[in-house]
Amino acid sequence: MRPVIQVRQLTKRYGKTIAVDQLSFDVRPGVVTGFLGPNGSGKSTTMRMVLGLDAPNAGQAQIGGRPYRDLRWPLREVGALLEARAFHPGRPARAHLAALAAGNAIPRARVEEVLALTGLEQVAGKRAGTFSLGMAQRLGIAAAMLGDPGVLLLDEPVNGLDPEGIRWIRGLLRSLAAEGRAVLVSSHLISEMALMADHLVVIGRGRLLADTTAAELATQAPSLEEAFLQLTGASTEYRAARS
C-alpha cells in the first residue's frame, strides 16, 4: 500500500550536534510501525519535524504527499501524542479537548466520545494539572484521537502507564491499524515493541539502522533484545561499564 508518512533525507542539527542524520523511511497504513532507538537517538526530533513543529535543516517529511502545514484539517488527518502533559495544568481536561476540537471544527460530541474511549469521563472536569502521569497520557491519547485521524504518531505512549494501561494501549493501537490507519509509535523498549509493532524502524544517533519486521530482526540473534542491542550498540550514548 502507498505510504502515508514519507520521511526523506531528513536532517536536523543543533549547533554542532546532529540529532537526525539523513533519515529516510515510510509509514504504511494498516500496520503498527514501531520507531525504536536508544534514548537520545532522534525519535522525538523526527516526530516533531513530521508535525512541522521543528524545521529540518535538510530533507523533508510528508503526510499523504503534503507537508504537515498544508493539511486542511490537521487534527482530522493526523493525531499526535508528543509528550505527556502537553496541556495547561490549570485547564480542565474537557476544556483542553474542546479547545482543540474547536480549532478544527470537530463536533463537540466527539470530545465526550474520546473521553469515554480513554476512560476519563469521571475526571474530565478536573484541572489537568492534578492528573497522574498515566491519566495525563490518556488525555494525550484522547487529544490524538479527537479528529478520528487516519494517521497516528505516538511518542513513548506507554510511559507512566500501569500494566493494565499498557495492555489497553497495545490493543487500541492494533485495532486502529486493523481499521486501516497508519500508526507510528516510538519506544526505547524492544520488548514492548515486539508485542505491539508489525514493522520496525530502528535508529541510533539519528541514523537509520534497520527498516524491517520484528520477526526478521529476531532471526539475527538468539533473542530480539540481543538483536536490538547488537544493532544499536555502537550508537548508545551512555552505557554501564561491562562487568
Partner 1 sequence: MTAGTRSLPPGRYRFRHVARMEWVKLASLRSTWATLGTIIAAAAGIAVLVAAGTKTASGDLTNSMMTGMFAGVLLAGVLGVLTVTSEYTSGTIRATLAAAPRRPLVLAAKAAVFAITTLITGQAAAFLAFLAGRAALGHGIAAPALGQPGVLRTIVLSGASLALIGLLGLGLGAIIRHTAAAVAVLVGVVYVGELFIGQINRTIDTYLPAYIVGDSIGGRTCGPGAAGCPLPAWAGMSVLAAYAAAALLIGGCILAWRDA
Interacting residue with partner 1 among 36, 100, 166, 227 (CB under 8 A): 100
**Binding piece for partner 1, criterion CB under 8 A, among 15-23, 175-183, 199-207, 223-231:** 175-183
- Closest approach of Cβ 236 to partner 1, in Å? 26
Contact assessment for residue 155 and residue 47, using Cβ atoms and an 8 Å cutoff: yes
Query: Closest CB to partner 1 among 144 and 194?
Result: 144
Assign 238 to helix, strand or coil.
coil
- Give the number of residues written for the chain: 243
Q: Does 242 bind partner 1 (CB under 8 A)?
A: no
Q: Does 92 bind partner 1 (CB under 8 A)?
A: yes
Contact assessment for residue 43 and residue 189, using Cβ atoms and an 8 Å cutoff: no
Residue list 104-123, contact with partner 1 (CB under 8 A): 104-105
**What is the distance between the alpha carbons of residues 69 and 61, in angstroms, rounded to a whole number?**
11
Q: Does 95 bind partner 1 (CB under 8 A)?
A: yes
Q: Does 31 bind partner 1 (CB under 8 A)?
A: no
**Binding piece for partner 1, criterion CB under 8 A, among 82-90, 189-197, 204-212, 217-225:** 82-90
Q: DSSP character for 126? A: S
**What is the distance between the alpha carbons of residues 85 and 89, in angstroms, rounded to a whole number?**
8
Query: Closest CB to partner 1 among 78 and 218?
Result: 78
Geometric angle at alpha carbon 82, from 115 and 170, rounded to 5°: 60
Interacting residue with partner 1 among 83, 121, 226, 237 (CB under 8 A): 83
Residue list 40-79, contact with partner 1 (CB under 8 A): 48, 51-55, 63-66, 68-69, 71-78
Geometric angle at alpha carbon 58, from 66 and 104, rounded to 5°: 30
Query: Closest CB to partner 1 among 1 and 241?
Result: 1
Q: Burial-class residue 55 by CB neighbours within 10 Å (0-12, 13-18, 19+).
A: exposed
Q: Does 37 bind partner 1 (CB under 8 A)?
A: no
Residue list 139-168, contact with partner 1 (CB under 8 A): 143, 149-151
Beta bridge partners of 33: 184, 199
- Closest approach of Cβ 231 to partner 1, in Å? 29
Helices marked H in the chain — which ranges? Answer: 43-50, 74-77, 93-103, 109-117, 133-145, 163-178, 190-196, 214-218, 224-232
Q: Give contact residues for partner 1 (rule: CB under 8 A).
A: 1-2, 4, 29, 48, 51-55, 63-66, 68-69, 71-78, 80, 82-83, 85-92, 95-96, 98-100, 102-105, 143, 149-151, 179-182
